């Protein structure tokens, strides 16, 4: 059936999206995603190979600003919003699976 | 009665020194105090900051300065517009407590025009929803009937204007999030042409669809606010260069000679009482000198499907930035990847996760062409069909919503039924065009009905002209309970 997706597919998508879903959520989203994709079957069924895609409603290309030095946002103000910061940088847990 | 006082009336009085901005503010704060506990239009009321701003407006008037076209007018801001130093939550736990280090261009412009910010309004989390029930901080209620939703996602802004908390508000419209709540709350709501209002400082939902726009109780007030916020901004690379349309001067030009099309495809599935008001509106435009014919824009029937692939796809990409590293919530875990996933699981609500799942799926290997790619081609079809219609007519008219305001809880368990409430508004966003919802009488339940006027890109002047005609011809609505 067009649109329907499996729980395994949904779990894969959750991993891609970095969402640590519960079993209940996974079940619910599997079902609800299937329903939305089923609704989208009208679009999926269209033959549109010769229609160009629209990525943006107002086509502007190569929008550049003048290359001049100007003040950015204040670093300390930005770092003060971080869950953890140290020595002027954002602090995160280990990224390679072993403690530093 | 002061709750129906217009923004232009207030600004005129303040600029001329007949009224003080501080007195205007205190009247509005009193109304907020009286009804806000029941309605929950705001995530945050900034009374102290507003008093400082109002006093500054009065000081400037006393010194002989002109504070600007919105002098002393209280304004409410949707809580996805960044305000430096003032919390901006997007009604999400993941941003709770965040104070942006910069201010949105649209907000800077209204403040520079003399408006006084009274608070940040409630919304569906990250603007994803049509009822303001998807807020992490609880729903907003419709001022006309608190058992009903105000619409969404800018439900707090619509309710604030309808309840007299502020004569003006800003919202954002990605698939109808200004026009749909404006219709359900009986106020004017404008979705400007894509690129006319800078998106700098608007927290991104679906970047190729998002647009900031005005809420007001009158068409003239909405036009005045539109003119303040529209215009090129070098900080938004999608901002249209050149001057925006002038609309206020055109307001009383009427519609004689304009060709208006009744949009044929947006009639199926619309409640009969809403459709009756749309037909009355068309008759009113005809009586004012426009010609009216039925016009077909066939591809809009694919609008809902295309939108619910494109918007979640862009959202899933935009929302990747909420990773617990730089701002907002962090849920600790042994490594960064686990911290990201735990933070996002705890910080996002159900609808946001649903859209991220849908968008990630639509963009993932093997499905991109079938879903996201197809939807973007449908977007071209819709734009082409609109272009063909606008060879025949100057404006299109349709319902803004399929029904009047629905009861809280009615659609929360069935996402698809909630998505359907945006069916009339979505095509405009996909095409990047302009549209407005104008209050036009009530349904059989006594609740407001909104009639939508659609115009091609940069067609705001004729759109506002027709809106003013509809406003003058609107059947008397029910007074607020």
Q: Which of A10, A43, A39 is nearest to A24 (CA)?
A: A10
Q: How far apart are the first and last CA of chain B?
A: 15
Nearest chain A alpha carbon to B304:
A40
Distance CA(B25)–CA(B46), nearest Å, equals 11
Distance CA(B255)–CA(B277), nearest Å, equals 19
Residue A10, classed as helix, strand or coil, is helix
Would you tell me the crossing angle of helices A7-16 and A23-39 to the nearest 10 degrees?
100
Distance from CA of A81 to the nearest CA of B (A): 5
Residue B339, classed as helix, strand or coil, is helix
Q: A58 vs B99: CB contact, 8 Å cut-off? A: no
Q: Does A59 touch chain B (CB under 8 A)?
A: no
Distance CA(B461)–CA(B396), nearest Å, equals 14
Q: Residue B94's Cα: distance from chain center in Å?
A: 23
Distance CA(B430)–CA(B407), nearest Å, equals 28
Put simply, the chain B residues between 138 and 167 with a CB less than 8 A from any chain A CB are none
Distance CA(B103)–CA(B109), nearest Å, equals 10
Q: B361 vs A33: CB contact, 8 Å cut-off? A: yes
Put simply, the chain B residues between 49 and 88 with a CB less than 8 A from any chain A CB are none
Q: Does A46 touch chain B (CB under 8 A)?
A: yes
Q: Element (H or E) spanning B44, and its range?
A: strand B42-45
Residue B297 makes CB contacts below 8 A (sequence gap 6+) with: B263, B264, B265, B382, B385, B386, B388, B389, B396, B427
Q: Element (H or E) spanning B449, and its range?
A: strand B448-455
Q: A82 vs B325: CB contact, 8 Å cut-off? A: yes
B85 touches B102 (CB < 8 A): no
Residue B298, classed as helix, strand or coil, is helix
Strand partners, B260: B292, B395
**Model confidence over A48-79: pLDDT tens digits?**
999 999 988 887 888 888 899 998 889 999 99
Strand partners, B116: B74
Burial of B291 (0-12, 13-18, 19+ CB in 10 A): middle
Distance CA(B68)–CA(B56), nearest Å, equals 12
Q: A42 vs B342: CB contact, 8 Å cut-off? A: no
Beta strand spans in B187-282 (E):
188-191, 212-216, 259-263
Q: Which of A37, A43, A8, A4 is nearest to B312 (CA)?
A: A37
Closest partner residue to A21 (CB to CB) among B335, B345, B376 is B345
Catalytic residues of B: 78, 153, 177
Closest partner residue to A65 (CB to CB) among B234, B320, B373 is B234
Distance CA(B27)–CA(B47), nearest Å, equals 12
Residues B150/B153/B155/B158 CA torsion (nearest 10 deg): -110
Q: Does B378 touch chain A (CB under 8 A)?
A: yes
Strand partners, B202: B81
Task: List CB contacts (< 8 A) between A96 and chain B.
Answer: 335
Task: List CB contacts (< 8 A) between B415 and chain A.
Answer: 32, 35-36
Q: What are residue B332's phi and psi, to 5 degrees?
A: -65, 145
Low-confidence ranges of chain B (pLDDT < 50): 1-2, 481
Q: B457 vs A58: CB contact, 8 Å cut-off? A: yes
Closest partner residue to B336 (CB to CB) among A44, A78, A95 is A95
Q: Does A26 touch chain B (CB under 8 A)?
A: no
Distance CA(B147)–CA(B156), nearest Å, equals 15
Q: A9 vs B356: CB contact, 8 Å cut-off? A: no
Distance from CA of A15 to the nearest CA of B (A): 8
- Span A16-32, average pLDDT: 96
Query: What pLDDT was estimated at residue B3?
Result: 53
Q: Does A69 touch chain B (CB under 8 A)?
A: no
Q: A56 vs B208: CB contact, 8 Å cut-off? A: yes
B88 touches B95 (CB < 8 A): yes
Structure tokens at B3: 């709750």
Distance CA(A38)–CA(A43), nearest Å, equals 10
Distance from CA of B243 to the nearest CA of A (A): 15
Task: Please count the residues of chain B.
Answer: 481
Q: B416 vs A35: CB contact, 8 Å cut-off? A: yes
Task: List CB contacts (< 8 A) between B350 and chain A.
Answer: 25
Q: Element (H or E) spanning B279, and its range?
A: helix B272-287
Distance CA(B68)–CA(B62), nearest Å, equals 14
Q: A53 vs B380: CB contact, 8 Å cut-off? A: yes
**Model confidence over B268-315: pLDDT tens digits?**
999 999 999 999 999 999 999 999 999 999 999 999 999 999 999 999
DSSP string, B119-159: EEE--SGGG--SSSTT-TT----BTTBTTB---SSSHHHHH
3-state helix, strand, coil in chain B (%, to 5): 45, 15, 40
Strand partners, B214: B170
Closest partner residue to B208 (CB to CB) among A48, A57, A81 is A57
Distance CA(B26)–CA(B394), nearest Å, equals 43
Task: List CB contacts (< 8 A) between A78 and chain B.
Answer: 101, 326
Q: What are residue A98's phi and psi, to 5 degrees?
A: -135, 145
Distance from CA of A43 to the nearest CA of B (A): 7
B128 touches B319 (CB < 8 A): no
Q: A40 vs B371: CB contact, 8 Å cut-off? A: yes
Structure tokens at B172: 């954002």
Query: What pLDDT was estimated at residue B4?
Result: 63
The b-or-e profile of B454-476 (16+ CB within 10 A means b, else e) is bbbbbbbbbbbbbbbbbbebbee
């Amino acid at each position: 059936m067009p649109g329907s997706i499996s729980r395994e597919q949904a779990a894969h998508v959750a991993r891609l999206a970095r969402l640590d879903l519960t079993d209940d959520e996974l079940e619910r989203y599997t079902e609800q995603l299937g329903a939305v994709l089923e609704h989208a079957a009208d679009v999926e069924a269209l033959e549109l190979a010769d229609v160009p895609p629209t990525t943006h409603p107002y086509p502007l290309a190569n929008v550049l600003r003048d290359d001049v030095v100007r003040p950015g946002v204040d670093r300390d103000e930005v770092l003060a919003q971080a869950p953890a910061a140290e020595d002027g940088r954002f602090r995160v847990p280990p990224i390679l699976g072993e403690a530093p | 009665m002061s709750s129906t006082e217009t923004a232009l009336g207030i600004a005129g009085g303040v600029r001329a020194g007949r009224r003080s901005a501080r007195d205007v503010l205190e009247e509005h704060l009193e109304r907020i105090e009286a009804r806000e506990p029941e309605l929950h239009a705001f995530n945050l009321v900034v009374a102290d900051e507003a008093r400082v701003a109002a006093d500054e407006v009065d000081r400037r008037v006393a010194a002989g300065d002109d504070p600007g076209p919105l002098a002393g007018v209280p304004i409410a801001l949707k809580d996805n517009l960044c305000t430096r130093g003032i919390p901006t939550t997007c009604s999400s736990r993941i941003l709770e407590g965040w104070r942006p280090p910069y201010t949105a261009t649209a907000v800077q412009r209204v403040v520079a025009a003399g408006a006084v910010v009274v608070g940040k309004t409630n919304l569906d989390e990250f603007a994803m929803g049509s009822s303001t029930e998807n807020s992490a901080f609880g729903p907003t209620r419709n001022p006309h009937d608190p058992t009903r939703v105000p619409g969404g996602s800018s439900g707090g802004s619509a309710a604030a204007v309808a309840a007299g908390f502020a004569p003006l508000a800003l919202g954002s419209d990605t698939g109808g999030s200004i026009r749909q709540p404006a219709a359900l709350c009986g106020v004017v709501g404008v979705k400007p042409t894509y690129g006319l209002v800078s998106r700098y400082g608007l927290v991104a939902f679906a970047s190729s669809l998002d647009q900031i726009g005005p809420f007001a109780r009158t068409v003239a007030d909405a036009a005045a606010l539109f003119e303040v916020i529209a215009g090129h901004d070098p900080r938004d690379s999608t901002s249209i260069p050149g001057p925006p349309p002038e609309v206020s001067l055109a307001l009383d030009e009427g519609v004689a000679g304009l060709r208006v099309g009744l949009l044929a495809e947006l009639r199926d599935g619309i409640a009969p009482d809403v459709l009756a008001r749309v037909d009355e509106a068309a008759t009113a435009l005809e009586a004012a000198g426009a010609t009216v014919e039925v016009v077909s824009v066939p591809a809009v029937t694919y609008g809902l499907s295309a939108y619910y692939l494109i918007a979640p796809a862009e959202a899933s990409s935009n929302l990747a930035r909420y990773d617990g590293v730089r701002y907002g919530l962090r849920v600790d875990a042994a490594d960064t990847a686990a911290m990201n996933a735990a933070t996002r699981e705890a910080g996002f609500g159900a609808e946001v996760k649903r859209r991220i799942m849908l968008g990630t799926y639509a963009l993932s290997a093997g499905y991109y062409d079938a879903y996201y790619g197809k939807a973007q081609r449908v977007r071209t079809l819709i734009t082409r069909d609109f272009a063909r219609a606008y060879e025949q007519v100057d404006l299109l008219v349709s319902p803004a919503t399929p029904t009047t305001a629905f009861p809280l809880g009615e659609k929360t368990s069935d996402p698809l039924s909630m998505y359907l409430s945006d069916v009339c508004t979505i095509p405009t966003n996909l095409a990047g065009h302009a549209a407005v919802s104008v209050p036009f009488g009530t349904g059989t339940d006594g609740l407001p009905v909104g009639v939508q006027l659609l115009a091609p890109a940069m067609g705001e002047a004729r759109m506002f002209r027709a809106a003013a005609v509809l406003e003058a011809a609107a059947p008397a609505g029910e007074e607020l309970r």
